[in-house]
Structure 1
Amino acid sequence: MSTPPADPHLPAVHLRPPRNWINDPNGLVFHAGHYHVFFQYNPDAPQHANVHWGHARSRDLITWEQLPVALAPTPGGDDADGCYSGNAISVDGRLVAFYSAHRTGRWWQPVTTAESHDGGHTWAKRPESLIPQPPTDTTMYRDPYVWQQDGRWRMLVGSALADGRGAALLYESDDLEHWTYLGPFHTSSPADPADPAGWECPQYATFGDRGVLIVSDWTPQDGPSHVTVHTGHEEHGRFTTTAPPVRLDHGPDFYAPALLKAPEEDRWLLWGWSWEARDESWAHEAGWAGVLTLPREITLADDGTVGQRPARELLALRGERVLHRSEHVTRSGPVELGEVSRTFDLTAVLTPDPADTSGLRLITSADGSEYLHISFDPTACHLIVDRSHASLDARAREGVYTVPCPVARVPRTPVELRVVVDRSIAEIYLSTGQVLTVRFYPVGDGPWRLEAHTTGIAGSDFTVEAWDLNAVGLRHETLLACQLRDA
């Protein structure tokens, strides 16, 4: 087994700067042979303040190069207190970033831009905001998303309407400079103005004549909440859904995802922000906070179901196969499957007992008192992830989270899982396309090991494989945080 890292919770294969704060992924774009990922970044501390755009790029989604900070606040400018979320496009050999210009005390964030002609190493901001004022019927306004469709440029901006509904507002342009407001592209259901909701970070993907709208739900009382996905089609600048909205990720630690159109036809990639699930003082002691999820492929099935799976390139991160077991497990006792490292990729096929719960337990302490619990309840038709015992440190959050089955299940039908664990983050994918992201912070001194268990009389069958993941693909060079701060 590998030697534990100096910080056992700092992810090894998930993208983030080596220190300090990261949150929303921004400006995801493929340009000149590279995938570019920008992100909200504080170069000075592990807290959400002094927001810049950090920047990394990759040719293969495996090896990442950290580039100089792309955007920094301009003293006295519209973005004096932060370069907040947005996206980027590749056009005519240049990169154009669209972002939210933040100033403390202003409830809206004007849309503005910056351009790069050298692959994202240096940037020039426009002298004034692109869209300085929001429509009059809004109470929140931020997070542009720009794409090209049918020969025209389109932009969604996250918003809250005065009547309490969340909205994605639509603009159009022929030249990226002059934008016409067309009204709400889509809104949430009618709401109580006394209990308003807003939509942050709208993202839109097209699959032929169908569309997928992703929004991050936000409220003034509680702030960021969860992410919902809407499927349907657009007609005359309005999006009509064909199914009720559902959660994009069923875990507690996922927000503000962003899309990237891969160079292959109809392949969409997505990254999300996974925030810390521990006391803020602990993050300050560690010197870092936040991580981006692994890149995911987004699919749209014929029935309108949105699915997610790890990007196919991530199979190249697998190193030695450390576990391969097939076991029939009864309630007489759990079965030890073997040891795993702190960073591993696991596939499991579980044929559950039809009457009771069965699952896997990732044990991280020598005495077995610290563990992450993943199980399936065939009666309720739920996958259950329980982190109530996942850390012996009381500063870590607890909780039990479920993923409902998308369709009714036949008894003894196998449940297929892929679980990627990277020190303090677990991404749990079902073969049905659903995902649950959870953070946990083991502090036990034992080797990590897996157990299979069931509480049913008939027993359950398990086939489990696990591979160590190679962290050598991530080049976490020091970000040149100050190089462009005054540019």
Structure 2
Amino acid sequence: MPVSDPHFPAAHLRPPVNWINDPNGLVFHDGHYHVYFQYNPHSARHADMHWGHFRSPDLLRWELLPVALVPTPGGDDEGGVWSGNAVSTDGGLIAFYSAKRDDRWWQPVASAVSHDGGLTFAKHPGLLVPQPAEGTSMFRDPYVWRDGDRWRMLVGAGLADGRGAAQQYLSDDLEHWEYAGPFLARAPEPLPGGADTEEGWECVQYADFGDGRGVLLLSAWDPQGGASHSAAYPGRDHGLHFAADAPQRLDHGPEFYAPALLHAPDGRWLMWGWVWEARDAVQVGAPSTWTDEVGWAGMLSLPREVTLGPDGSVRQRPARELDALRGRPALRAKGQVTADAPDTLGVTGRSFDLTARLHRGAAGGAAAGLRLVTSPDGSEYLDLALDAATGELVVDRAHASGEPRARGGSWRIPRTTEPGGFAELRVIVDRSIAEIFLGTGESLTLRFYPLGEEPWRLQARATGPGTTEFEAQVWQLNPLGIQDRSDRRGGPA
């Protein structure tokens, strides 16, 4: 960890230095969870993509290993080994990835095989899918899975007619692939809380929940602005096509993108996402003087369990293993609060795990919230509160950093807590990231950069007239156990 940077996470995966983005190749193989990721070993800028590598037996103890995949000078991937996934087979671990070169607008599908537990890979000669189908305007990021006695592959795409798409390919041997048409293709559709599914889809992933039900994940690519947000289509798999229900926004915050799935040995679907910076660069991936100064950018989210509710809702919660990171209790409080009399509940450190129950009073009445105060004079704070008028959870970071280069703004989860009802939430704060989960399964992820020293203070507050109720409990969040086995002479290599 960069000792001089108090914003470097303790419980989130990322190497000690340089740039990371999309999680790749998530797979359980040879008794380990493997988390590969897009990595630039040379700087904190979005360039020169390799596959970095973490592995763990239990999601708590991790090894940072040498870089697993590197571009081949003069080869099909000389411009970078970009996003994809991996599958475990009897013959080893096979990675599928996007092969980038600057003289192509599309990214063909390439593969590589490992026979040493995912530490090193030998690239398959040639390309598995050299060119996209006619009428495709964007093409990248394969996702492969076994379906009975065949293999299926989805590739993120944009179509010339303005639809986003997941193009499907089929194979019997993981080497020869036949185009089967769009698994799903849709014109941009509105998402709850604003935004839409955009004209291009990347990092498409598929979770099979049995009985033909499944969820297609996508990351929405805006042709004008680039990476935007992530969405999910629940629906029914008919083999050659997917009958999708209405799309759902996967995370309601501003800094969560490119989620990737791992099918755990116990049948759970686990998911990690890329959480980018909210520092001085406005466009994602643009050079930032701040990140250049600190020497690192991006992190992976906490692992999340993804489930499909009986109503078709895609639900998330922190992976149950993370409960073991809870350390000593920091505070526990329950009471009533009014708008003109906030209640200071106690102090926290920079990394903590919080559960809370916030009450929304009768129509026109008060609603509860929490404020994390991170400066002695109270001028720096992060707010989480129920909107007294709508019952939605609002997260506001407008005053969360005294550093003028930190981005502000507020976001909300468009899930209404009815008058007289309670919102159950869990909030995991890790130095410069907050991951917020409602008990109903929605999430909101954002970055913030407090300058204040510990201890921080937690307050209960209220908006609207009258009195409302709250409960809160906080545990210290212990760091992940990470053993650095990489060779970082100029970056893991």
| TM interval, short-chain normalised | over 0.9
Determine which of 198, 204, 211 is the counterpart of 2:206: 204
Distance in 2 between residues matched to 1:467 and 1:176, nearest whole Å: 46
**Matched-pair contact (CA < 8 Å) for 1:201–1:256:** yes
2:237 equivalent in structure 1:
234
Deviations 1:144-200 (Å, cap 9, x if unpaired)? 000011221000000000111110000010110111100000012269xxx972000
Alignment of 1:159-308 (within 5 A): 159-189=157-187, 197-208=199-210, 209-242=212-245, 244-265=246-267, 267-279=268-280, 280-308=288-316
Tell me if 1:359 matches 2:359. no
What's the counterpart of residue 194 of structure 2? none
Alpha-carbon deviation of 1:382?
1.1
**Could you tell me how far 1:141 is from its partner in structure 2?**
0.5
C-alpha offsets along residues 13-72 of structure 1, whole Å, 9 cap, x if unaligned? 100111100000000000011000000000110011111000000011011101110100
- Quote the Cα distance in structure 1 between the aligned partners of 2:239 and 2:262: 24
Whole-Å Cα distance in 1 between the matches of residues 384 and 377 of structure 2?
Answer: 19
Report the AA paired with residue 452 of structure 2: G
SS of the equivalent of 1:465 reads strand
Q: Return the offset for 1:246.
A: 1.2
Deviation of the 1:381 alpha carbon: 2.6
1:469 equivalent to 2:477? Answer yes
Aligned partner of 1:270: which letter? M
Change (3 A) 1:24 1:350: same
Alpha-carbon distance, 1:455 to partner: 2.5
After superposition, the CA RMSD in angstroms is 1.8
The alpha carbon displacement at 1:478 in A equals 4.1
Distance 2:214 2:361 in 1: 39
Aligned with residue 151 of structure 1, among 142, 149, 155: 149
Contact 1:388 1:400 in 2 (8 A): yes
Task: Return the match for 2:138 from 137, 140, 144.
Answer: 140
Match for 2:236: what amino acid?
H
- Farther off after superposition, 12-21 or 127-136: 127-136
Matching residue's letter, 1:198: G
Distance 1:469 1:71 in 2: 33
Paired with 2:103 and 2:391, the residues of 1 have a C-alpha distance of: 47
Deviation at 1:331, TM superposition (A): 2.3
Name the counterpart of 1:435: 443
Secondary structure, aligned partner of 1:170: strand
Is the CA contact 1:66–1:477 (under 8 Å) kept in the aligned structure 2? Answer: yes
Counterparts of 2:351 and 2:487, CA distance in 1: 24
SS in 1 for 2:305: strand
Shift of 1:463: 1.2
**Offset of 1:377 from its aligned partner?**
1.3
Relative to 1, partners in 2 of residues 1:171 and 1:216: Cα closer, same or farther, differing over 3 Å? same
Contact 2:156–2:167 under 8 Å retained in 1: yes
- 2:284 equivalent in structure 1: none
Query: 2: distance between equivalents of 1:484 and 1:168?
Result: 33
Count of aligned residue pairs for this structure pair: 475
- Deviation (angstroms), 1:358: 2.3
* Residue 409 of structure 1: how far off its partner (Å): 4.2
Cα deviation per residue 1:307-361 (whole Å; 9 max; x = unaligned)? 0000000001111111111121122310001100100000001123332442000
In 1, are the aligned partners of 2:25 and 2:86 still within 8 Å (CA)? Answer: yes
Unaligned runs of 5+ in 1: none
Query: Deviations along 1:431-460, whole A, 9 cap, x unmatched?
Result: 000000000001124521100001233312
Where 2:321 maps in the other structure, the secondary structure is: helix
Q: In structure 2, what is the equivalent of residue 72 of structure 1?
A: 70
Corresponding residue SS for 1:471: coil
Q: Distance in 1 between matches of 2:325 and 2:16?
A: 19
1:98 alignment counterpart: 96
Q: How far apart are 1:122 and its partner, in Å?
A: 1.4
Aligned-residue sequence identity (percent) comes to 58
Give, as a single letter, the amino acid of the residue that structure 2 aligns with 1:23: N
- Whether 1:387 and 2:397 are equivalent positions in the alignment is yes
Change over 3 Å in CA distance of 1:401–1:202 after alignment to 2: same
Query: Per the alignment, do residues 483 and 371 of structure 1 end up closer, same or farther by CA in structure 2, a change over 3 Å counting?
Result: closer
Q: Deviations over 1:90-128 (max 9, x none)?
A: 001410000000112311001000110000111101121
Q: What's the counterpart of residue 39 of structure 2?
A: 41
- Structure 1: distance between partners of 2:361 and 2:87: 50
Distance 1:443 1:102 in 2: 39
CA contact (8 A) 2:359 2:367 kept: no
C-alpha separation between the residues in 1 aligned to 2:87 and 2:490?
Answer: 25
